Every structure is written in C-alpha cells, then in structure tokens.
A and B are shown apart, each in its own frame.
Chain A
C-alpha cells in the first residue's frame, strides 16, 4: 500500500530529524529547508490527504485514482516545473506544470505502477531532482508510485541543490553540524562508558545491565521533573544521587556477595544480562512502553556559524565535560584514584599493599551508576528527546564499542573511544550511510579495529591477554 509506505516514511523520517539530527536539518542551508519543507507537507498530507487531494483530483471508486503531490514545500513551493507521468513501460503519458503552490496532480484510470519524474530543463537554476531511495526508484531517476483506483497516492518527489554532493557550502556545513552533534553524543556516551570501563577495570566484569542504569537516570528524572514538577537542575542532581545510591546498593546486595562466593566472571556476566532483562521489563511495567519527556518546556537554540544546537545541548555538554573532568582529576590526582588504578592493575597486589579492594569497588560501582544516571538524564534531554524503556539498551552496544575501542578497562581510553564512536555515528549519515545503518557502522568499525589492534587504541598490550 503506497499510503502505508508514505506514512511509514514521513513518520520515520520526521522523527529521525527531530530527534537525533535535531536542529542540524534547519541549518543545512537550502537543502535542509527543502528536505524539511518536503517532509512537513507530506506529514500534513497523511493527516488530511483526502481533503488536500480533493481540490485537484477526485478519486472515484473503481474508476479513477489520483497521483498528486507538491514540488518544493508549502512554504517554499517550486513553480513552473514540468512533472512527467510515465506508465509501467516507461512511455510518457502526461505532463503537467506546477502552479505557484508547487502542486501537481494526475488522474489515472488503471491501477498499477507509474513513474513520476521532473523535467530537468524546467527546474529553476541550481536545483535538481533528488535521486529517490532504492525502494521507490524507477528508471532515469524517476519515482515509482503504485496507484489504486478510488484512492490518492503521493509520490515522494524531492529537489535539492545541484552542488549537494559537490562539496559546496551546504555539505561542509552539514559536516560541521555533524561533528558538533558527534561531540555531543560522544560526551554523553563517555559519561556512561567511563563507569562501564571502571567496573570492567576493577572487577573484570562486562556489565550488560549498565545501559539500564542509563535508562534509570532518564526514568528517575522523568518522575522527578516531569511528574513531580521539580526544578530541572535540582532534578538532574537528585537523579544522579538516586542512581549512585542504586549502584551502591547493587554492589552491597549483589556483587560483593557474589565476589565473596567466588562466582566466575562469565556467570556474573550472565547475571547482568538477567538484571538487564528484568529492568527493561520493569520499566515497561511501571512507566509503559512509550517515550516520556523529561521536560516539556522549550529552551530555544543558539547558532555559531553553520552549527545550531539547542541551548540545552550546550548545557548538557558542559555538564558532561565537568563531570568527566572531575572523574579524570579524581583518578589521576587523588589517593582514591590511585587506589582505584592500583586495583585495576592488580587486585591481589593492591590488597596486599593495604588497599581495601572491596571499598574501592563499591565506590566504583557507586560512581559508575551515578555517571550512567547523569548520562541518562542528559541523553533523554538532548538526544533522544525523552526516555523509553529501551533508550539505554539502544546505546549499550555503542558503549561497549567505545570501551573496547579505547582499550578495555582504561578510563581515558573509554573517553577517547566514546568521542570516536559519537563522531562516527553522527558523521555516517552525511558521508553516505543510510540512516538506520549509522549504529551498524560504529559496530563494524569496532570489529575492524579488533582485527588490527586487539588491545584497543589506548590499551596497553600487557593488560590484555
């Protein structure tokens, strides 16, 4: 069903833009406006397709069907463009020229596949038809559309700057925006992966339930800020504290007793998987399966040259940098940090030299959970635009990729790995990876790196083996 397909497309694409790419699209210059401009009317079309199509073409049951759409966007339509309709064999059937509103419409009397293409000659200078996605691509850059009698369908005909791929301003702008988005994602990933890395370093445990601590952060903040109406900043602090407490209790009630029992690391890893499962479904049980916003208020955006981010994003990045810096300072400069690193190096030796290993590990769990919770709030605020039971689960593999990339168990490595993963994920799109694949690209890079340098970028060879 083309309408269904259309629906899927606009729904998915627009959410994508709003949520993960955020304000980037606005700043892609003309292209961005165009794309967004196309998506928005399509969205509206879905809602009121019968009404808008009715003005141009009336589908009659079992007699006629409509193929209609807009070139450009409602706010910025492209007039005077010749739109060509071809039949399944590729012969031109009809050509219409768009009016000032950019709309075109064909009436067909047979159901079946048709192709819609824009006449390049008639397009204003500097614009070209964007090649359609493979799934709807017809011959010669046309868009395939399946018409049914008695209904109207809208082919997705998009236009863009001719220099879109030629490395013009818009492309560099796009890259600049992606780099900043990548740094933002990277910093938040770093916040979460630091804890994962510290836990791995001190206990050897790959904590598969770490992502659920991230989700927990978002959930607690949702409860405190959105539901209970707490001030956002207070809420963030409170969330961090609550999550840290959860980490403390987790170690006190679960991990320490298990370490005492001498449970193997593989077994402990499976315990974390069980915990993750239980936690995910517990979130669904108590909060439901839909996306919940932490704040409803809009904080506005700020631009620096080609880069635009929400103000909240800048604040989140600042908070992340401060928190990461603090962890780094503690690790490098304080006695507790030294003790932590000693435990990471060799727990037996550390214990022999008078360090209370259990206390250090408890501290690490507490800090790791706190950081993950903080990351969860910030992530929900500026990246996923809300929190859902699987928000954390979706970035778990990115966290593991970051930690492994940087070198398992080295805190600084986790930071570097996170930034790299963040950049890779955000840059994958503009550099040609289809939208859904950007996470896959990050994971593929991880696999390739393990081939070349199994100890990770910053891992010391001695630590691995």
Chain B
C-alpha cells in the first residue's frame, strides 16, 4: 500500500476508534472530526418519486461506516450519486460533495475513481471473458501501456507490467484467489467474484473503498472471510463505506452506522446505540417487523435465504434504476 492510504495506524485499536467517535453527536448530518467525504443537498428524483434526499452527511476517515436501511431506502442510488454514476436532480441548485478536500460535484465516474474513491457493485461486475489476472491488472492506475501510442512498443511498458502483476499476485494471494489467476472470471462462483471485485478495487490503492452490499449472495462461510478482509483494510488505514441489509453484520464490524429510509438519513451513531433509535425501528418496521434486529438468529439459513431473496428482488429494481441512470448520463452529456 502506498503512503497516502495509511491514515492513523492507531485506529486499528477499537478503543481508539470509540474514542474518536465519542465526541460526535449521534444525529443525522453530524459533523466528524476528520471527514474524508462531505455531502450536501443531494436530491435525486425518478419521475415523481424522490429516491434520495440527503441534506448533509460526513464520513469519518479511517473507520468503517455502514450505510443501512430497508429496501428502497435509496442506498444504492446514493452510492451511484456520490461516485459519479448518476447525476443528482439537484445538480446546480446547491448539490455539492467533496472527497478528501476536492469537490467532486462535476466529476465523472472514472475521475472519482482516479481521485481515490473506488466502489464495487451490488451485482458483481467481473469482466467475465477475461482471466482473473487480467481483471486484476485493469485495477492498477496510470499504466503507460494503456496509452495508444506507447502500447505497440512493449519495452515501454514491460517493466511496469511486471510490477503490476506482482502486486496483483500479492492481492490475489491475500484473497485466496491466486490459484485461479488464469481462469476466466466468469467461471468463478458468485462469492469469489465478490472477492475478485474487492481485490481489483484495491489494485488502485484507494483512499476510500465503497462496497455495495458485499455480502449479498455470499454463502455464510465466505461472509466471515469477507468481513475479515474489510476489517483488515480498515486496520491498514483505509476508509470503508459499505451498504448492507443485514443488521447483524453491520453491528459486528462497523464503527459508525448511517441509517437511510425513504431517501433520507434518519439516524447516525455507533452500531450498538443506533439500533435502539426509534426512527430506525420505525423505518424497519415495514420490512422486518417480526425480526429482532440485533438477534444472531438473523444469520440462520432460513433468514439468510429470505434476505437474499429480498436482495434479489431489490436487484431487479436497482437494475431499472441503473438503466435510467445510464440514460440520464447520455442525456446530460
């Protein structure tokens, strides 16, 4: 990992993290000590429906922040908006967001990634007809061989190619995918593809990684290892923002939780306290009124299946939104 991604190493210590966040008032839009991401007045409407309407949000550097909320709360749309995959309807009328001190309001998705905020997708976007290794190599930034004029002269990029390959191998080894490196990404299992996508995102040495439902569709055994990876990233100093349905997972690893419902941020706070927040309970009542939110039973097979089914239904909805967003991009540019 390069210099820039290493934040305060002491944040690997849970106590230090608790101390860091202790001073923050657990209310929507609370100011953080050292925010890496600041968002203001983001609104997104589809037809007459307001999918996202966030007044103000800050994300603390160096910790794991979870973005939770029931189906249709606008979490993925919000993700799309701040990563440049969608444009807010409020663009031009006060919408502004800032990453690591730089404004991203007018930045395309690719520039957002270059700035150091890399995301993954709810529906894994592995490049299926390319090998795992090629997938990884595409994660690395600033490759001189990607310049059209230089590409035909191998000596100009051979050295860098080797370095990138070494790095890719290291990451693949860490995510236990090294022996699959020459397989087509399309031949991997769903969970392996999630891992591959995460590893690929890390190839660019991001300052912040944004994971859209990293556990969706992953079997429970792999869930544990995924959680481990996410925590390890945090311990190395990376900022993690992730969307999740599963409250248990959230409580387990996140240092701070932001709850969205009907497009708004309804609550913020440390994982253990936010669950008892009345607004959160209200938000979830429609969806899981018969489930104890903090109960480990949520992780039983049946409940998982139920949640997964919901996720899948949600995915279909998101796909429609994704399509609309595509079009919107074409429209604007």
Contacts and interface: CB of A to CB of B under 8 A. Distances in A.
Interface of A: 346, 348-349, 453-455, 461-465
B262 interface: no
Nearest to B320: A462
Interface stretch (B16-24, B203-211, B291-299, B324-332): B324-332
A463 B323 CA distance: 7
Contact of A462 (B316, B323, B330, B331): B323
Contacts of A465: 322-327
A357 to B, nearest CB: 16
Given A453-B331, A462-B324, 16 more contacts: A346-B316, A348-B316, A349-B316, A454-B327, A454-B330, A454-B331, A455-B327, A455-B331, A461-B327, A461-B328, A462-B320, A462-B323, A462-B327, A465-B322, A465-B323, A465-B326
Interface in B279-332: 316, 320, 322-328, 330-331
6 contacts: A454-B331, A462-B46, A464-B323, A464-B326, A464-B327, A465-B325
Contacts of B320: 462
Chain B at the A interface: mostly helix, strand, loop or mixed? helix
Contacts of B326: 464-465
A454 B327 CA distance: 7
Q: Which 9 A-B pairs have the closest CB atoms?
A: A465-B323, A465-B326, A454-B330, A464-B327, A462-B324, A465-B327, A461-B327, A461-B324, A455-B327
A461 to B, nearest CB: 5
Contacts of B328: 461
Interface of B: 46, 316, 320, 322-328, 330-331
For B46, B316, B331, the residue with the greatest tally of chain A CB atoms inside 10 Å of its CB is: B331
Contacts of A349: 316
Contacts of B330: 454, 464
Contacts of B324: 461-462, 465
A361 to B, nearest CB: 20
A426 B316 CA distance: 44
A82 B325 CA distance: 69
Contacts of B323: 462-465
B41 to A, nearest CB: 23
A452 to B, nearest CB: 9
Contacts of B327: 454-455, 461-462, 464-465
A238 B2 CA distance: 75
Contacts of A453: 331
Contacts of B322: 465
A341 to B, nearest CB: 16
Contacts of A455: 327, 331
A346 B323 CA distance: 13
A461 B331 contact: yes
Nearest to B325: A465
Contacts of B325: 465
For A349, A455, A464, A465, the residue with the greatest tally of chain B CB atoms inside 10 Å of its CB is: A465
A319 B273 CA distance: 71
A463 B328 CA distance: 11
A349 B327 CA distance: 22
For B46, B325, B327, the residue with the greatest tally of chain A CB atoms inside 10 Å of its CB is: B327
Contacts of A454: 327, 330-331
B65 to A, nearest CB: 29
B242 to A, nearest CB: 25
A456 to B, nearest CB: 11
